[in-house]
Amino acid sequence: MIGIAGAGAFGTALAIALGQDSRDVTLWARDGEQAQAMRQTRRNMGRLPDGLLPASVTVTADPLDLRGADVILLTVPMQTLSAFLRDHPQALTNSALIACSKGVDLNTLQGATALIRAAIPQAVAGILTGPSFAADIAKGLPTALTLAVAEGEGLQHLLSTPTLRIYRTTDVIGAELGGALKNVIAIAAGVVLGAGLGESARAALMTRGFAEMLRFSASLGARPETLMGLSGFGDLVLTCTSTQSRNLRFGLALGSGAAFDPGVTVEGVATSRAVARMAAGLQVDMPITRMVADLIDQKIPLDQAVISLMSRPLKQE
Protein backbone atom coordinates (compact mmCIF):
# COMPACT_ATOMS: atom_id res chain seq x y z
CA MET A 1 0.00 0.00 0.00
CA ILE A 2 1.10 3.54 -0.79
CA GLY A 3 0.19 6.27 1.67
CA ILE A 4 -0.07 9.93 0.74
CA ALA A 5 -0.14 12.47 3.56
CA GLY A 6 -1.72 15.65 2.27
CA ALA A 7 -4.74 16.02 -0.03
CA GLY A 8 -3.74 19.22 -1.76
CA ALA A 9 -3.42 19.38 -5.53
CA PHE A 10 -0.12 17.50 -5.73
CA GLY A 11 -1.07 14.77 -3.25
CA THR A 12 -4.38 14.25 -5.06
CA ALA A 13 -2.63 14.12 -8.44
CA LEU A 14 -0.18 11.48 -7.21
CA ALA A 15 -3.09 9.45 -5.80
CA ILE A 16 -4.81 9.57 -9.20
CA ALA A 17 -1.68 8.58 -11.13
CA LEU A 18 -0.72 5.76 -8.78
CA GLY A 19 -4.29 4.56 -8.31
CA GLN A 20 -4.90 4.38 -12.05
CA ASP A 21 -2.09 1.85 -12.21
CA SER A 22 -4.11 -0.40 -9.84
CA ARG A 23 -2.03 0.27 -6.73
CA ASP A 24 -3.76 0.47 -3.37
CA VAL A 25 -3.43 4.09 -2.24
CA THR A 26 -4.55 5.72 1.01
CA LEU A 27 -4.84 9.51 0.77
CA TRP A 28 -4.96 11.43 4.05
CA ALA A 29 -6.75 14.78 4.19
CA ARG A 30 -6.31 17.03 7.20
CA ASP A 31 -9.92 18.23 7.07
CA GLY A 32 -12.61 15.66 7.83
CA GLU A 33 -15.25 17.42 5.74
CA GLN A 34 -12.91 17.52 2.77
CA ALA A 35 -12.20 13.81 3.13
CA GLN A 36 -15.92 13.02 3.25
CA ALA A 37 -16.61 15.15 0.18
CA MET A 38 -13.79 13.46 -1.73
CA ARG A 39 -15.12 10.03 -0.83
CA GLN A 40 -18.56 10.99 -2.13
CA THR A 41 -17.58 12.83 -5.30
CA ARG A 42 -14.25 11.07 -5.99
CA ARG A 43 -12.88 14.53 -6.73
CA ASN A 44 -10.93 17.24 -4.92
CA MET A 45 -13.27 20.07 -5.86
CA GLY A 46 -11.24 22.73 -4.07
CA ARG A 47 -7.77 21.94 -5.44
CA LEU A 48 -8.03 19.65 -8.48
CA PRO A 49 -11.66 19.50 -9.64
CA ASP A 50 -10.99 17.88 -13.02
CA GLY A 51 -9.19 14.85 -11.58
CA LEU A 52 -11.16 11.67 -10.81
CA LEU A 53 -9.92 9.41 -8.00
CA PRO A 54 -9.74 5.73 -9.05
CA ALA A 55 -11.57 3.09 -7.03
CA SER A 56 -8.27 1.84 -5.59
CA VAL A 57 -7.77 5.15 -3.72
CA THR A 58 -9.09 5.34 -0.16
CA VAL A 59 -9.56 8.83 1.30
CA THR A 60 -9.32 9.26 5.06
CA ALA A 61 -9.03 11.95 7.69
CA ASP A 62 -7.40 9.59 10.21
CA PRO A 63 -3.59 9.62 9.90
CA LEU A 64 -3.42 6.20 11.59
CA ASP A 65 -4.90 4.74 8.39
CA LEU A 66 -1.49 5.34 6.84
CA ARG A 67 0.12 2.77 9.16
CA GLY A 68 1.58 -0.23 7.41
CA ALA A 69 2.17 1.50 4.07
CA ASP A 70 5.27 0.44 2.19
CA VAL A 71 5.93 4.12 1.54
CA ILE A 72 4.27 7.34 2.64
CA LEU A 73 4.58 10.34 0.33
CA LEU A 74 4.58 13.49 2.43
CA THR A 75 2.86 16.16 0.35
CA VAL A 76 2.13 18.62 3.16
CA PRO A 77 3.64 22.14 2.71
CA MET A 78 7.28 22.48 3.70
CA GLN A 79 6.63 24.93 6.53
CA THR A 80 4.14 22.54 8.18
CA LEU A 81 6.12 19.32 7.61
CA SER A 82 7.97 19.44 10.93
CA ALA A 83 4.73 19.76 12.92
CA PHE A 84 3.10 16.93 10.94
CA LEU A 85 6.02 14.61 11.66
CA ARG A 86 6.02 15.55 15.33
CA ASP A 87 2.27 15.07 15.74
CA HIS A 88 1.86 11.71 13.98
CA PRO A 89 4.80 9.40 14.77
CA GLN A 90 2.56 6.35 15.27
CA ALA A 91 1.20 6.68 11.75
CA LEU A 92 4.62 7.07 10.17
CA THR A 93 6.80 4.52 11.94
CA ASN A 94 7.90 1.48 9.88
CA SER A 95 7.22 3.09 6.49
CA ALA A 96 9.66 4.66 4.06
CA LEU A 97 9.00 8.40 4.23
CA ILE A 98 9.43 10.34 0.99
CA ALA A 99 8.96 14.09 1.13
CA CYS A 100 7.38 15.88 -1.82
CA SER A 101 7.82 19.34 -0.28
CA LYS A 102 10.19 21.79 -1.95
CA GLY A 103 11.86 24.26 0.35
CA VAL A 104 13.89 24.91 3.47
CA ASP A 105 12.29 24.99 6.91
CA LEU A 106 12.45 28.58 8.11
CA ASN A 107 12.77 27.68 11.79
CA THR A 108 15.51 25.05 11.59
CA LEU A 109 17.10 25.95 8.22
CA GLN A 110 16.89 22.25 7.33
CA GLY A 111 15.59 20.35 4.35
CA ALA A 112 12.78 17.83 4.40
CA THR A 113 14.87 14.69 4.86
CA ALA A 114 16.71 16.16 7.85
CA LEU A 115 13.34 16.90 9.44
CA ILE A 116 12.22 13.32 8.79
CA ARG A 117 15.37 11.83 10.32
CA ALA A 118 15.06 14.05 13.39
CA ALA A 119 11.43 13.05 14.01
CA ILE A 120 11.50 9.37 12.88
CA PRO A 121 15.17 8.31 13.15
CA GLN A 122 14.60 4.73 12.05
CA ALA A 123 12.75 5.63 8.84
CA VAL A 124 14.14 5.45 5.34
CA ALA A 125 14.03 9.14 4.33
CA GLY A 126 14.05 10.53 0.81
CA ILE A 127 12.58 13.14 -1.45
CA LEU A 128 10.55 13.02 -4.68
CA THR A 129 11.07 16.14 -6.74
CA GLY A 130 11.36 17.48 -10.26
CA PRO A 131 9.49 19.44 -12.95
CA SER A 132 5.82 18.66 -12.42
CA PHE A 133 2.45 20.35 -12.18
CA ALA A 134 -0.37 18.56 -10.40
CA ALA A 135 -2.79 19.10 -13.29
CA ASP A 136 -0.43 17.40 -15.75
CA ILE A 137 0.08 14.37 -13.49
CA ALA A 138 -3.66 14.03 -12.88
CA LYS A 139 -4.37 14.15 -16.62
CA GLY A 140 -1.90 11.35 -17.24
CA LEU A 141 0.49 13.55 -19.20
CA PRO A 142 4.08 12.24 -19.32
CA THR A 143 6.05 13.44 -16.28
CA ALA A 144 9.53 12.58 -15.04
CA LEU A 145 10.63 13.00 -11.41
CA THR A 146 13.73 12.33 -9.35
CA LEU A 147 13.63 10.07 -6.30
CA ALA A 148 16.55 10.88 -4.02
CA VAL A 149 17.18 8.23 -1.39
CA ALA A 150 20.14 6.20 -0.19
CA GLU A 151 18.69 2.84 -1.28
CA GLY A 152 15.63 3.20 -3.43
CA GLU A 153 15.49 0.75 -6.33
CA GLY A 154 12.39 -0.92 -4.96
CA LEU A 155 10.72 2.44 -4.33
CA GLN A 156 11.64 3.57 -7.82
CA HIS A 157 9.67 0.68 -9.32
CA LEU A 158 6.81 1.05 -6.85
CA LEU A 159 6.25 4.71 -7.71
CA SER A 160 6.72 4.47 -11.48
CA THR A 161 3.69 4.21 -13.75
CA PRO A 162 3.23 4.26 -17.54
CA THR A 163 2.97 8.07 -17.39
CA LEU A 164 5.11 8.81 -14.32
CA ARG A 165 8.77 8.05 -14.92
CA ILE A 166 10.97 7.99 -11.80
CA TYR A 167 14.72 8.49 -11.98
CA ARG A 168 16.86 7.73 -8.94
CA THR A 169 19.83 9.39 -7.25
CA THR A 170 21.61 9.04 -3.93
CA ASP A 171 22.40 12.78 -3.82
CA VAL A 172 19.62 13.74 -1.43
CA ILE A 173 21.13 17.16 -0.64
CA GLY A 174 21.40 18.10 -4.30
CA ALA A 175 17.84 17.01 -5.11
CA GLU A 176 16.44 18.85 -2.10
CA LEU A 177 18.27 22.07 -2.85
CA GLY A 178 17.41 22.00 -6.54
CA GLY A 179 13.71 21.85 -5.74
CA ALA A 180 13.98 24.50 -3.03
CA LEU A 181 16.18 27.06 -4.75
CA LYS A 182 14.37 27.04 -8.10
CA ASN A 183 11.30 28.47 -6.35
CA VAL A 184 13.29 31.51 -5.27
CA ILE A 185 14.59 32.07 -8.80
CA ALA A 186 11.06 31.64 -10.16
CA ILE A 187 9.85 34.47 -7.92
CA ALA A 188 12.68 36.62 -9.27
CA ALA A 189 11.74 35.68 -12.85
CA GLY A 190 8.18 36.76 -12.13
CA VAL A 191 9.41 40.05 -10.69
CA VAL A 192 11.37 40.70 -13.90
CA LEU A 193 8.32 40.11 -16.08
CA GLY A 194 5.94 41.91 -13.73
CA ALA A 195 8.17 44.96 -13.78
CA GLY A 196 8.18 44.96 -17.58
CA LEU A 197 11.90 44.24 -17.96
CA GLY A 198 11.38 41.76 -20.79
CA GLU A 199 12.13 38.20 -21.85
CA SER A 200 15.84 38.82 -22.36
CA ALA A 201 16.11 39.89 -18.75
CA ARG A 202 14.26 36.77 -17.63
CA ALA A 203 16.67 34.56 -19.58
CA ALA A 204 19.63 36.33 -18.00
CA LEU A 205 18.13 36.03 -14.55
CA MET A 206 17.44 32.31 -14.96
CA THR A 207 21.04 31.76 -16.08
CA ARG A 208 22.58 33.70 -13.22
CA GLY A 209 20.06 32.20 -10.83
CA PHE A 210 21.14 28.72 -11.85
CA ALA A 211 24.73 29.74 -11.12
CA GLU A 212 23.58 30.70 -7.61
CA MET A 213 21.88 27.34 -7.22
CA LEU A 214 25.06 25.50 -8.19
CA ARG A 215 27.26 27.66 -5.95
CA PHE A 216 25.08 27.32 -2.87
CA SER A 217 24.44 23.60 -3.32
CA ALA A 218 28.14 22.85 -3.78
CA SER A 219 28.89 24.61 -0.50
CA LEU A 220 26.66 22.06 1.25
CA GLY A 221 28.12 19.02 -0.49
CA ALA A 222 25.73 18.52 -3.41
CA ARG A 223 26.96 17.09 -6.70
CA PRO A 224 26.79 19.58 -9.62
CA GLU A 225 25.37 16.94 -11.98
CA THR A 226 22.34 16.56 -9.73
CA LEU A 227 21.49 20.23 -10.15
CA MET A 228 21.85 19.82 -13.91
CA GLY A 229 19.14 17.15 -13.94
CA LEU A 230 15.40 17.07 -13.38
CA SER A 231 15.50 18.22 -9.77
CA GLY A 232 17.50 21.35 -10.60
CA PHE A 233 17.67 22.65 -14.16
CA GLY A 234 14.52 20.84 -15.29
CA ASP A 235 12.42 22.18 -12.46
CA LEU A 236 13.92 25.65 -12.86
CA VAL A 237 12.87 25.83 -16.52
CA LEU A 238 9.31 24.73 -15.80
CA THR A 239 8.79 26.99 -12.80
CA CYS A 240 10.26 30.09 -14.43
CA THR A 241 8.33 29.80 -17.69
CA SER A 242 4.76 28.75 -16.85
CA THR A 243 2.06 30.74 -15.10
CA GLN A 244 0.88 27.46 -13.57
CA SER A 245 3.76 28.11 -11.15
CA ARG A 246 2.58 29.79 -7.97
CA ASN A 247 6.07 31.17 -7.39
CA LEU A 248 6.18 32.80 -10.82
CA ARG A 249 2.68 34.25 -10.33
CA PHE A 250 3.68 35.62 -6.93
CA GLY A 251 6.73 37.26 -8.52
CA LEU A 252 4.57 38.74 -11.27
CA ALA A 253 2.36 40.34 -8.63
CA LEU A 254 5.38 41.54 -6.67
CA GLY A 255 6.96 43.09 -9.75
CA SER A 256 3.80 44.78 -10.96
CA GLY A 257 2.51 45.89 -7.57
CA ALA A 258 -0.64 43.77 -7.88
CA ALA A 259 -2.37 41.98 -5.01
CA PHE A 260 -1.76 38.25 -4.50
CA ASP A 261 -4.07 35.78 -2.79
CA PRO A 262 -2.62 35.24 0.72
CA GLY A 263 -4.30 31.84 0.89
CA VAL A 264 -2.06 30.42 -1.84
CA THR A 265 1.03 28.61 -0.59
CA VAL A 266 4.20 30.03 -2.17
CA GLU A 267 7.10 27.91 -0.92
CA GLY A 268 9.73 30.25 -2.34
CA VAL A 269 8.79 33.03 0.10
CA ALA A 270 10.00 31.26 3.25
CA THR A 271 12.81 29.55 1.33
CA SER A 272 14.24 32.88 0.13
CA ARG A 273 14.44 34.10 3.72
CA ALA A 274 15.96 30.84 4.97
CA VAL A 275 18.53 30.57 2.18
CA ALA A 276 19.54 34.23 2.50
CA ARG A 277 20.31 33.58 6.18
CA MET A 278 22.20 30.39 5.38
CA ALA A 279 24.20 32.01 2.57
CA ALA A 280 25.29 34.83 4.85
CA GLY A 281 26.60 32.33 7.39
CA LEU A 282 28.33 30.26 4.71
CA GLN A 283 29.67 33.38 2.99
CA VAL A 284 28.19 32.30 -0.34
CA ASP A 285 27.35 35.10 -2.78
CA MET A 286 23.58 34.94 -3.50
CA PRO A 287 22.55 38.35 -4.89
CA ILE A 288 19.31 37.21 -6.55
CA THR A 289 18.15 35.29 -3.49
CA ARG A 290 18.98 38.21 -1.24
CA MET A 291 17.09 40.56 -3.57
CA VAL A 292 13.98 38.36 -3.46
CA ALA A 293 14.06 38.14 0.34
CA ASP A 294 14.55 41.91 0.67
CA LEU A 295 11.70 42.65 -1.75
CA ILE A 296 9.34 40.32 0.08
CA ASP A 297 10.24 41.90 3.42
CA GLN A 298 9.93 45.39 1.87
CA LYS A 299 13.50 46.28 2.79
CA ILE A 300 14.17 47.72 -0.66
CA PRO A 301 11.98 49.14 -3.45
CA LEU A 302 11.87 47.36 -6.80
CA ASP A 303 13.84 49.98 -8.73
CA GLN A 304 16.66 49.85 -6.19
CA ALA A 305 16.76 46.04 -6.41
CA VAL A 306 17.17 46.18 -10.18
CA ILE A 307 19.88 48.84 -9.97
CA SER A 308 21.79 46.86 -7.34
CA LEU A 309 21.88 43.76 -9.55
CA MET A 310 22.83 45.62 -12.73
CA SER A 311 25.57 47.65 -11.02
CA ARG A 312 27.43 44.68 -9.53
CA PRO A 313 31.12 44.49 -10.48
CA LEU A 314 31.77 43.05 -13.95
CA LYS A 315 33.38 39.62 -13.96
CA GLN A 316 33.98 36.51 -16.02
CA GLU A 317 31.03 34.17 -16.47
Q: Is 272 a residue whose pLDDT tops 80? A: yes
In the annotation, is 182 catalytic? yes
Summarize pLDDT for 167-192 with one digit per residue, the tens.
999 999 999 999 999 999 999 999 99
The fourth-level CATH superfamily of domain 2-170 is: NAD(P)-binding Rossmann-like Domain (3.40.50.720)
What are the phi and psi torsion angles at 100 (to 5°)?
-115, 10
Q: Is 310 a residue whose pLDDT tops 90? A: no
Angle at 198 between CA 132 and CA 209, to 5 degrees: 50
pLDDT confidence of 314, banded at 50, 70, 90?
low
- The share of the chain scoring above pLDDT 70, in percent, equals 99
pTM of the model: 0.96
Q: Which of 102, 139, 182, 299 is catalytic?
A: 182
Residues 6+ apart with CB under 8 A from 111: 104, 105, 127, 173, 176, 177, 180
pLDDT confidence of 27, banded at 50, 70, 90?
very high
**Mean pLDDT, residues 43-55 taken together:** 96
**Mean pLDDT, residues 42-48 taken together:** 97
**Mean pLDDT, residues 247-265 taken together:** 95
Distance (Å, whole) CA 128 – CA 241: 21
Q: State the CB neighbour count (10 A cutoff) for residue 301.
A: 11
| Range(s) of the chain covered by CATH 1.10.1040.10 | 174-310
For residue 182, with 0-12 CB atoms within 10 Å meaning exposed, 13-18 middle and 19 or more buried, which class applies?
Answer: buried
Summarize pLDDT for 92-131 with one digit per residue, the tens.
999 999 999 999 999 999 999 999 999 999 999 999 999 9
- The whole-number pLDDT of residue 108 equals 97
Distance (Å, whole) CA 37 – CA 232: 36
b/e for 74-98, b at 16 or more Cβ within 10 A? bbbbbbebbebbeebeebbeebbbb
For residue 259, with 0-12 CB atoms within 10 Å meaning exposed, 13-18 middle and 19 or more buried, which class applies?
Answer: exposed
Summarize pLDDT for 58-102 with one digit per residue, the tens.
999 999 999 999 999 999 999 999 999 999 999 999 999 999 999
For the domain 174-310, what is the CATH code? 1.10.1040.10
| Range(s) of the chain covered by CATH 3.40.50.720 | 2-170
